Chains A and B, each alone.
Chain A
């Protein structure tokens, strides 16, 4: 029961926010965080649990968003069904890319996802008949439930965070299950995991597909809330910002994705006051610095720094003459 306490408190707090917060701006910001959290959770599972890195999460967000946009505006498909179709397409594409690359060393998936992101971006720009090119697609309807319009900030908040909480529960369960344990085992040592009978490549492909589904659903939700999609939202730059968030938040647990989401929503707002252009510069430097400070792959930065300080202090205390 205790291990569910954190989740329950968080769920109650998040879901009751609309009861006392009426401001549309802050509610939109929070809803925006819900979808970023979904994208980050997928990456966090992939990175933290399976030790694989995707630099193309934005591509899957774009697939969800455009599937929803095209199906609802052109074919009048039900928004929920369109969201599901987007998720299936994202999962299939992830499988297609994951199967050949996840058998190989980490940089193949990284490079391939970078390529996927580039291609999806090119297709969104070039398939003008389908996507309207750079003009994007407007007039995307809101989500509905029965006769209820879920487009208002309060209703949307409940939908977005409701789905995010379902994904969080699922991810937490996954991390604690047999699957999660085998994933962490393969992150530590793949040959060892394999010798224990874990089908490492298959597990990694499954997690990669799951990350793509999370991203796709998040993209669909964004599209239904903003009622507009355009290609420039789904660039490699955005993918790398998401990765930065996940790494900043820490890879030890899925909760790290939440801190990471906070970081990528709040940091740019703060940096904008100094100079908008430097945001990505700061993110890039953070990525390098975190990697340099990190001791154990996937370990949290704070812990590494603490361990380092502790080591230095104890070394100083034990040596009389101060030398190393």
Chain B
């Protein structure tokens, strides 16, 4: 592998890493508030992408497609919370897994009926002319993906650290009962966490669709990789999710260079198993692992 090839793989790793990072944040937002792993997270990403494709076909400008798809998935995610999650908050892990798996199944099949089986694409946000860096090239969409991801991560961090509502959410993550005693509405926090998680996931879906296309069945793998990223970084830690996403993206891209593109999707899973074997708390994880 020459240095230029290496650089090329790094660029592609950063692009997919951004999507994994945002998907991982989607998992983290819901997990922190509820200790639920949402198995339909990847489908939210997929619906973001396909939603934008639908709006683009209707003739809307790209920025409106982006906002429209994010808004639609945000609504959908809150709908899911109201319909299927709220009644299950006090039930066991098993019921929560099964219900969100059911939701994933519903969303995926609905997307297949609505958009068909083919992978669809969007035009890039600003032209297709690649920029040349040394002998490697970088497409402008990569910069959009990276830039928007940074903006989203920074805004989320500021919101969580600085705003009153953000503090309330963090309080619920630490101890829901104590937070409730302080007059924080736990239900509002959960609903908002789902909304935010849906929005972030959908944004990831819209950004990546011009590069890697989107089909009704893309969600499962995106969800799996997002979860692998979140676990690698430390489940529940937003910065860990970002770090995990980029590490996963870059390792995967280099893996394509070393092994073969056909096995690309297996890499995330091998990493997930290794993390669970060696360090279940993840790289930046909390001290205590969630056993039972």
Q: A104-B289, A111-B224, A281-B109 are in contact. Are A116 and B269 (CB under 8 A)?
A: yes
Q: Out of B88, B94, B107, which one reaches A51, CB within 8 Å?
A: B94
Is A122 in the interface zone, CB < 8 Å from B?
yes
- CB pair B102 A278 closer than 8 Å: no
8 Å CB interface, A97-115 against B: 97, 100-101, 103-108, 110-112, 114-115
Is A269 in the interface zone, CB < 8 Å from B?
no
Contact with A along B256-291 (1 / 0, CB 8 A): 000010110110110011001100100000000111
Q: Which residues of A contact B99 (CB under 8 A)?
A: 287-288, 291-292
Q: Which residues of A contact B272 (CB under 8 A)?
A: 111-112, 115
Is A61 in the interface zone, CB < 8 Å from B?
no
Main secondary structure on A side of the interface with B? helix
Contact with A along B98-136 (1 / 0, CB 8 A): 110111111111101100000000000000000000000
**How many of chain B's residues have a CB under 8 angstroms from any CB in A?**
48
Q: What CA separation (Å) do A162 and B228 show in the bound complex?
A: 41
Main secondary structure on B side of the interface with A? helix
Q: What CA separation (Å) do A36 and B281 show in the bound complex?
A: 37
- CB pair A285 B102 closer than 8 Å: yes
Q: Out of A105, A110, A115, A283, which one reaches B269, CB within 8 Å?
A: A115
Count class of interface residues, chain A: 35 or more
Is B71 in the interface zone, CB < 8 Å from A?
no
- CB pair B290 A104 closer than 8 Å: yes
Is B179 in the interface zone, CB < 8 Å from A?
no
Tell me the minimal C-beta distance from B222 to chain A in angstroms.
11
Is A190 in the interface zone, CB < 8 Å from B?
yes
- CB pair B112 A100 closer than 8 Å: no
Q: A126-B263, A285-B106, A291-B91 are in contact. Are A114 and B98 (CB under 8 A)?
A: no
Q: Out of B83, B94, B106, B113, which one reaches A284, CB within 8 Å?
A: B106
Q: What CA separation (Å) do A286 and B265 show in the bound complex?
A: 30
Which residue from chain B places its CB closest to the CB of A114 in the assembled complex? B224
Is B146 in the interface zone, CB < 8 Å from A?
no
Q: What CA separation (Å) do A138 and B108 show in the bound complex?
A: 31
Is B172 in the interface zone, CB < 8 Å from A?
no
Is B178 in the interface zone, CB < 8 Å from A?
no
Is A119 in the interface zone, CB < 8 Å from B?
yes
Cβ-closest 10 pairs across A and B: A287-B102, A284-B105, A284-B106, A115-B269, A107-B37, A288-B102, A106-B93, A100-B276, A126-B262, A291-B99
The 15 listed contacts between A and B (C-beta, < 8 Å) are A100-B273, A108-B280, A110-B101, A111-B37, A112-B272, A114-B39, A115-B268, A123-B266, A126-B262, A281-B110, A284-B106, A288-B83, A288-B84, A297-B92, A298-B94
Q: Which residues does A use to contact B, with CB under 8 Å? A: 47, 51, 53, 55, 96-97, 100-101, 103-108, 110-112, 114-116, 118-119, 122-123, 125-126, 190-191, 236-237, 240, 243, 247, 277-278, 280-281, 283-288, 290-292, 294, 297-298
Known: A106-B97, A122-B266, A292-B88. 16 other contacts (CB 8 A): A100-B273, A106-B94, A107-B37, A107-B93, A107-B97, A108-B280, A115-B269, A115-B273, A122-B265, A278-B109, A281-B105, A283-B102, A287-B101, A288-B103, A288-B106, A294-B95
